[in-house]
Structure 1
Amino acid sequence: MTWFLNSPQQSLGFILADSGFDVWIANTRGTRFSRQHATLDASKPEYWNWSWDELVDYDLPATFDFVYHQTGQKLHYVGHSLGTLIALASFSEGKLVDKLRSAALLSPVAYLSHMTTSIGILAAKAFLGEIISLVGVAEFNPKVEAVAQFLNSLCKNPGVDCYDLLTSFTGKNCCLNASTVDMALKNEPQSTSTKNLVHLSQTVRDGTLSKFNYEFQVMNVEHYGQGRPPIYNLSNIPTNLPLFLSYGGRDALADVEDVENLLDKLKFHQGDKLTTLFIKDYAHVDFIMGVNAKEMVYNALIAFFGRY
């Protein structure tokens, strides 16, 4: 839904369609549009035994396969935030690239060790501290009492302004319409798995991009055949894959230093195949809901797609 919250003249989904693109929108598993399964029930813990590794290994490739078989054409991909993380991890493992024309990554998240969101840092520490208040909670649904209590406990920390949760998490967005924010908060945040948030917290702590760490050597050996989880090596992303990265100077999640760390991993990319667009006043959500995002980002993104 995040691609359609503004007017048709301002929302990327509509702008791409009006520019002649065939637009496919994917929902992440666990959100209210995507809770079905061949054998598992979303009300049971087994359904929620996944992190973003599974999105990399199964969901994104399945989405690509589906669209490719429907259209017979290679895809342009647009991701924001978690959508950039799973794309980069997939590309580094050689997945998707045979069905891909190019990829646009908005607020790219690969490294999280410099994020400046106070509530995000507190949450990451809490998730890694065995998430005492959430033991047994497989689905992280902000509307469920146990999760709401956990969030309330974070809100009691000095420096966390829970009256403006969006800014607390994402940084000070410059260019949002109040009615769009209201609509976003009616629809978000959606459910995810607690395991997924633990995995993201490990990324914050470790400063590396690796598969889920079971924290016990014997369990890592059982899953990976080695004591530590394998790393996603972003230097393996094909150097001729056209990439468009846009990031903001006020983003508290995709911090400039972390994005520059990502760009360093892409330093051997073919020069004409890597386009970067830095917007000083933008924070995390401006890239999908900013009223001026068409002028600031989307026109350049569409021109980039046009070259490929």
Structure 2
Amino acid sequence: MAVQSSEDDHPAETGSRHRCWTAGDIVRSAVGCILILTMISVHGESFVSMAIQRARSMKPKLFMKAPERAENDGYRMETHHVQTDDGYILGLHRIPGKRESSKPVLLQHGQHSMSDCWIAFGPSRSLAYQLADKGYDVWLGNIRGNIYSKDHTTLNPSDSAFWNFSWHEMGFYDLPAMIDYILRTTGQSKLYYMGHSLGGRIVFVLLSMRPEYNDKLRLVVAMASRLSAPPDQQRTPEFRPPRNVNLFQRFVEVAGINELFPYSERRIAMLYYFCSNSITRAICRKFVQDSMGESEVISEDDILMMIVIGMGGNSAKTSQHYTQLIESGKFQQFDYGPEVNLQMYGSNQPAEYDVTRVTAPVSIHYGATDKRVPEEGVLYMSTILPNVAEVRKVPSEKFNHMDFICHMNLKELLYDHILSCLENY
């Protein structure tokens, strides 16, 4: 196992350097919010429609769907649909390989995101395009519940039963459906798998629960992904969610909310006005830094797109499962409470995923200032997975959770290395 790090040259910073908010900042932000809400209440739907049209004309890329984005960037994209064993119909996007023998790669987005994340920042900064340019057959997955995967054989998104899933079902049902479909369509026996955040986590659900799929993956590339914490650090502060995350989860449970961050052109338009406004744009920048970690200079356009690609939609139960993971520090199935757990798992506690069954080779990548994925957790993950090819800290002094998708120098910092690794598998 190779471990690469730039830590000697660029020690990770533990403190926060973004400026504290003053009372004036808060007042200005509140005034901006009030002005926006007042305009909506006074002018109603006509104002909203006009606002969406104007925002679309000013920032058309914010409103594009994946096929339109690809065409705009000069790439041909296909749309495919895959049915899971439990009835969900998933959207798959494909940039076909240049040859029939092109090796397939499946890219899987993170929580609340969508396939657009792999192409949203243009050819020089998007992994899907980098792979396509090298001749790979590129497939972009979409997990159940997001904008491209909201169909079901018997359920509707208006049914609460439709949203009764977490990232467990994504690993157990969604990934095998996509993998099998890709291999049937391409005539290949194996594919490369690359996942960001949740996209990296759910492949370990699959490979531990359905280990036969290890033989179908040439290499797993896990970017900014976390599993369990070291046993002596479970339930310690650095592995717990911030208090506001817990409060948010409690609110979701009490309010009976099923879906979080659904895709909406209205929300995108409001985001555009909010984050572009000189009064309120600081809120957007602070939100990104507080939730994702410190990064290099981020442009206003990057912040807008970063938030948009995080509005693909997902179930509230998925977020609850994630909060469970970081509160407990354990890589477990969903916790239904002692009584139901006993019926489902044969124990008062939720069953843990047996990652010793993950025999596919794994390439692990993490950032120095990623607030969501502590370095200790990454290094511990590398010790419990049996076939780790490498553990690599991205060689940048500041590289946060979303930098894996949108950093200005992704090609040099990450993609060139990943493309080189693929040649060995």
**Bucket of the pairwise TM-score, normalised by the shorter protein:** 0.7 to 0.9
Which residue number corresponds to residue 65 of structure 2? none
Shift of 1:132: 6.4
1:235 maps to which residue? 356
Unaligned runs of 5+ in 2: 1-115, 230-234, 265-281
Does structure 2 retain, via aligned residues, the 8 Å contact 1:247–1:278? yes
Residue aligning to 2:305: 183
1:186-237, CA deviations, whole angstroms, 9 ceiling, x for partnerless residues?
Answer: 342332111111111111111100100102x221122223322110122332
The count of corresponding residues between Structure 1 and Structure 2 is 283
The residue type equivalent to 1:247 in the other structure is Y
Note if 1:205 corresponds to 2:327.
Answer: yes
RMSD of equivalent CA atoms: 2.4
Are 2:263 and 2:312, in contact at CA under 8 Å, matched by a contact in 1? no
Aligned to 1:192: 314
Q: Following superposition, which runs of at least 4 residues in structure 1 exceed 4 angstroms of deviation?
A: 112-118
SS at match of 2:423: helix
* TM-score where L is the length of structure 1: 0.84
Deviation digits for residues 284-306 of structure 1 (CA, Å, limit 9, x no counterpart): 11111111111111111011111
Residue of 239, 261, 269 corresponding to 1:141: 261
User: Is this contact kept in 2: 1:92–1:232, CA < 8 A?
Assistant: yes
Partners of 1:141 and 1:202 in 2: CA distance? 19
What is aligned with 1:85?
A: 201
What does residue 250 of structure 1 align with?
A: 369
User: Do structure 1's residue 98 and structure 2's residue 215 form an aligned pair?
Assistant: yes
* Equivalent residues in 2 for 1:157-168, closer than 5 Å: 162-164=283-285, 165-168=287-290
Which piece of structure 1 moves more, 103-112 or 181-190?
Answer: 181-190
Asked whether the 8 Å contact 2:239–2:326 carries over to 1, the reply is: no
Given the two structures, how large is their TM-score scaled by the length of structure 2? 0.62
Change (3 A) 1:66 1:283: same
Call closer, same or farther: CA 1:201–1:162 in 2, change over 3 Å.
farther
Q: Which has the higher contact order (CA 8 A, sep 6+)?
A: 1
Partner of 2:398: 281
Q: Is the CA contact (8 Å cut-off) linking 1:127 and 1:201 kept in structure 2?
A: no
Q: Aligned partners of 2:155, 2:305: CA distance in 1, in Å? A: 31
Query: Residue 245 of structure 1 aligns to which amino acid in structure 2?
Result: I
Distance 1:285 1:264, change over 3 A: same
2:225 aligns with 108
The 1:55–1:123 alpha-carbon spacing in structure 2 relative to 1, beyond 3 Å, is farther
Equivalent residue, structure 1, for 2:52 = none
Identity %: 29
| Contact in 1 for aligned 2:368/2:400 (Cα 8 Å) | yes
Question: 2: CA distance between counterparts of 1:185 and 1:218?
Answer: 39
Q: Deviation of residue 115 (structure 1)?
A: 7.9
Does the CA contact (< 8 Å) of 1:6 and 1:291 recur in 2? no
C-alpha separation between the residues in 1 aligned to 2:413 and 2:344? 44
Alignment of 1:42-121 (within 5 A): 42-73=157-188, 74-93=190-209, 94-111=211-228, 120-121=241-242
Q: Is residue 126 from structure 1 mapped to residue 247 from structure 2 by the alignment?
A: yes
State the shift of 1:177 in Å.
4.3
| Secondary structure in 1 matching 2:363 | strand
Name the SS of the counterpart of 1:34 in structure 2. Answer: coil
How far apart are residue 102 of structure 1 and its match? 0.7
SS of equivalent residue, structure 1 residue 307: coil
User: 1:51 and 1:101, CA in 2 relative to 1: closer, same or farther beyond 3 A?
Assistant: same
Q: Where does residue 296 of structure 2 map in the other structure?
A: 174
How far apart are residue 111 of structure 1 and its match? 3.3
2:346 counterpart residue number: 225
Q: Quick one: which amino acid aligns to residue 300 of structure 1?
A: H
Larger radius of gyration: 2
SS in 1 for 2:341: helix
Q: Distance in 2 between matches of 1:208 and 1:237?
A: 17
Q: Distance in 2 between matches of 1:126 and 1:69?
A: 45
Residue identity opposite 1:65 in structure 2: D
Kindly indicate whether the alpha-carbon contact (under 8 Å) linking 1:171 and 1:284 is maintained by their aligned counterparts in 2: yes
- SS of residue matched to 1:258: helix
The SS at the match of 1:137 is coil
Tell me if the contact between 1:211 and 1:231 (Cα under 8 Å) persists in the aligned partners.
Answer: yes
The one-letter code of the counterpart of 1:169 is S
Return closer, same or farther for 1:115/1:17 CA change in 2, 3 Å cut-off: farther
Q: Is the 8 A contact 1:244 1:276 kept in 2?
A: yes
